[in-house]
A and B are shown apart, each in its own frame.
Chain A
Amino acid sequence: MSQTFTKAMARNIFYGGSVFFFLLFLALTFDTNSALPERDNRGAITEEVARGKAVWEENNCIGCHTLLGEGAYFAPELGNVYTRFGNSTEAIKGFIQSRPKEGVPGRRSMPQFNLSEEDLNAVAEFLKYSSEINTANWPPNIQG
C-alpha cells in the first residue's frame, strides 16, 4: 500500500469503523426488541411452553433437527412440524412415543426418550408455539 495511506489512518479506520458499526448494531437491536412483541408469539409462552423448551434443550433435539432452520441437518425441520402434522399436538406426541428403542435396521431413527406425559405435552405445545412465530414466510413450503 502506498505511503500516503499511513498506518495511523488504517488504525483510525479500524477503531472508528468498529465502534460506529457496533453502535449501529446496538441501535438496530434496540429497534428489533421493540418490534418483536408483534412477531415472536410471546403471548403464547405459557408455563407449559417454557417447560417444553427445557425438554427440547435437555434432550438435545437440536443435535439432529433444525428449528427455524438452525441446528443439525440430519433430521427434519421442526419449526413447522405442527402444521405439517395437520395442526395436531397429538400427532407430534404419537410420533415421539412410537420410536423403537433399538432403532430401525440400516436407517436413521429418532431415539426413544421415554418422556413423561407432562414432558410430552410440554414439548408438543412448545413446537406449536414455535410454528406460530412470524418467520417472514419461511420455510418456503410445508416440507420444511
Chain B
Amino acid sequence: MKYQSQAVAKPYFVAAIGLFVGQILFGVILGLQYVIGDFLFPEIPFNVARMVHTNLLIVWLLFGFMGASYYLVPEESETELFSPKLALITFWVFLVAGALTVLGYLLVPYATLAEMTGNSLLPTMGREFLEQPTITKIGIVIVALAFIFNIGMTVLKGRKTVVSLVLLIGLVGLAVFFLFSFYNPDNLVLDKYYWWWVVHLWVEGVWELILGSILAFVLIKTTGVDREVIEKWLYVIIALALITGIIGTGHHYYWIGAPEYWQWWGSIFSALEPLPFFMMTVFAFNMVNRRRRNHPNQAAVLWALGTAVMAFLGAGVWGFMHTLAPINYYTHGTQITAAHGHMAFYGAYVMIVLTMISYAMPMLRGRDAANSGMSQVVEMWSFWLMTVSMVFITLFLTGAGVLQTYLQRYTDDPMPFMVVQEKIEIFYWMREVAGVVFLLGLFVYIASFFIGGKEPEEA
C-alpha cells in the first residue's frame, strides 16, 4: 500500500462481501419459492425476498465501487485521501441506513414501512429497485455527495490521470441520475420513462465508466503495460459505451406507451451495445498477453479477464438476444429478461468489484503484493464455481424463458401465465441447484481469506 489513507477501503470491501452473502441467501430462497410456492409464506413473501435480493446487490456493489475508489484514487493521484475520517463516517452512515432499510423490509409489512417513513409526503417507494423508503433515498444522496466530494478533492489536489477522471465522471453521473428516483408522477408512462433514467443510464451508462476505469487500473498494475496504451483503450471503450448506451435506453420504451419510433432508435443503438463489451474483452486479453511482468497476484488477473468475458456474454450477447423490437415483442418481461439480468450483473459489476477486492485486499491486509499460492488456488476455485454456476443459472433461465415465450406468447393457443409456470418447473429446479452451487462457491471465496495466511507470499 503506497498511501496510508487507502486503508479506508478495507471496511468497504468487508461490508460488500458480507452483504453479498445476504444477497445470495435470499436468491436461493427466491429460487425455492419458484418451485415450492408457499415456502416461507406468509412470513417472507416473494416480493419481500426479491426486494432484499436486489437491494442488497445494489448496496454491496455501491460499497464495492466506493471501496475501489478509496483505494484507487490516492494511488492514481499520488497523494493521501482528502479526508479518511469523512470516508469512515459515510461508511457507517451507509451501512446503518442500509441495514435498517433491509430490517424494515423484513420486519414490517411494506405498506406499514411506507406509512412509518411518511411515503405520502414524497412518494418514491414501490417501484422496482427503487423500493427504499424516501428517507433512505435522501440518505443515499447525502452519502454519495460526501463520497464524491472526498474523491473529487483528492483528484483535484493530486495528479490527474485518465483513470481517476473517468471514474469521477462515472460517479458524478451515478449521483446525478439517481436524482430521477425522486420523480414519481401519477402518470404511469412518465413514471416509467424517467425510472429508466436511473436504472438504464446507471447500468448501461455511467456504471460502465466505473467498470472501465477500475479494470484499467488493475490492468495497469498487474501487466505493467504502458499507461498511455491502456488509457487510449479506456477512452475508446467508454466512448462506445455511451454512444450506443444513451440512445439504447430506447429498448425500454417499446411497450410502455412511448411513441413507436423508439422501436427503431432502441433496436439500432442497443444492437450496437455489445461492441464496447467486446472491445473490453479484446482489451483485457491484449494487455495480459503484452504484459511486461508476471504479477504474483494471478487470482486478480483471472478475475480481470473473467469480468471482461462474462460482461460481454451477459450484457452483450444475452442483451442482444432480446433487444430487437420484433423479438422483444414476444420476450418482454419473461424469464429471458431474468436470464440476461443475472449474467450481466454478475459479469459486469459483481466480477469487477471482486477483481478490485482481489487486487487490493492482500495489500490492505499487510502483504507486499499478493496472497500465498494456497490462498490464491482456493480463490480461483471460487472463481470457477461461481462463474460456471452463473452460466448454468443463465442457461436454465433462458430455457425457461424460451418455453415461456412460446407457450404464453407465440403459439396459436396461448396458455395462462400460471399454467405455463408449472410446465417449465423443471428449469426452475435446475436453476435452484445451480444457485446452491453458486452459494457454495461464495463460501469457498470467503474461505480463501482465511486459508494459507501463514504461508509465504507468492512472488
- State whether the Cβ of A143 lies closer than 8 Å to any Cβ in chain B: yes
- Which residues in B have their C-beta under 8 angstroms from that of A129? 188
Choose one: B162, B193, B239, B335; the contact of A18 (CB below 8 Å).
Answer: B239
Within 8 A of A (CB), among B249-273: 249-250, 252-260, 262-263, 265
- Assess whether A49 is in contact with B186, with CB atoms less than 8 Å apart: yes
- Assess whether A36 is in contact with B186, with CB atoms less than 8 Å apart: no
Interface size of A by CB at 8 A reads: 75
- B384: min CB distance to chain A, Å: 29
- State whether the Cβ of A118 lies closer than 8 Å to any Cβ in chain B: no
- Which residues in A have their C-beta under 8 angstroms from that of B128? 62-63, 70-72
Q: Report how far A36 CA is from B127 CA in the complex, Å.
A: 21
Residue of A nearest to B235 (CB): A10
- Assess whether A69 is in contact with B332, with CB atoms less than 8 Å apart: yes
Candidate in B51, B239, B265 with the most chain A CB atoms within 10 angstroms: B239
- Which residues in A have their C-beta under 8 angstroms from that of B243? 17-18, 21
- Which residues in A have their C-beta under 8 angstroms from that of B47? 60-64, 72, 74
- Assess whether A136 is in contact with B333, with CB atoms less than 8 Å apart: no
- State whether the Cβ of B192 lies closer than 8 Å to any Cβ in chain A: yes
- Assess whether B417 is in contact with A107, with CB atoms less than 8 Å apart: no
- Which residues in A have their C-beta under 8 angstroms from that of B193? 29, 32
- State whether the Cβ of A95 lies closer than 8 Å to any Cβ in chain B: no
- Assess whether B38 is in contact with A103, with CB atoms less than 8 Å apart: yes
- Assess whether A58 is in contact with B126, with CB atoms less than 8 Å apart: yes
- Assess whether B126 is in contact with A45, with CB atoms less than 8 Å apart: no
- B62: min CB distance to chain A, Å: 21
Within 8 A of A (CB), among B35-92: 36-38, 41-42, 45-48, 50-51
Within 8 A of B (CB), among A30-82: 31-32, 35-36, 39-42, 45, 49-50, 53-54, 56-64, 66-77
Choose one: B119, B247, B408; the contact of A58 (CB below 8 Å).
Answer: B119
- Assess whether A58 is in contact with B42, with CB atoms less than 8 Å apart: no
Within 8 A of A (CB), among B217-248: 228-229, 231-233, 235-236, 238-239, 242-243, 246-247
- Assess whether B187 is in contact with A76, with CB atoms less than 8 Å apart: no
- State whether the Cβ of B114 lies closer than 8 Å to any Cβ in chain A: yes
- A117: min CB distance to chain B, Å: 16
- Assess whether B242 is in contact with A17, with CB atoms less than 8 Å apart: yes
- Which residues in B have their C-beta under 8 angstroms from that of A69? 255-256, 332-333
- Which residues in B have their C-beta under 8 angstroms from that of A60? 47-48, 51, 110, 125-126, 131
Q: Show the binding face of A for B, using Cβ within 8 Å.
A: 1, 5-7, 10-11, 13-14, 17-18, 21-22, 24-25, 28-29, 31-32, 35-36, 39-42, 45, 49-50, 53-54, 56-64, 66-77, 101-109, 111-113, 129-130, 133-136, 138-144
List 21 contacting pairs A-B, 8 Å CB cutoff, sorted by A: A1-B229, A1-B232, A7-B232, A21-B242, A31-B259, A32-B258, A36-B259, A58-B110, A58-B114, A58-B115, A58-B123, A58-B125, A60-B47, A63-B50, A68-B257, A70-B128, A108-B421, A134-B257, A140-B410, A141-B409, A143-B417
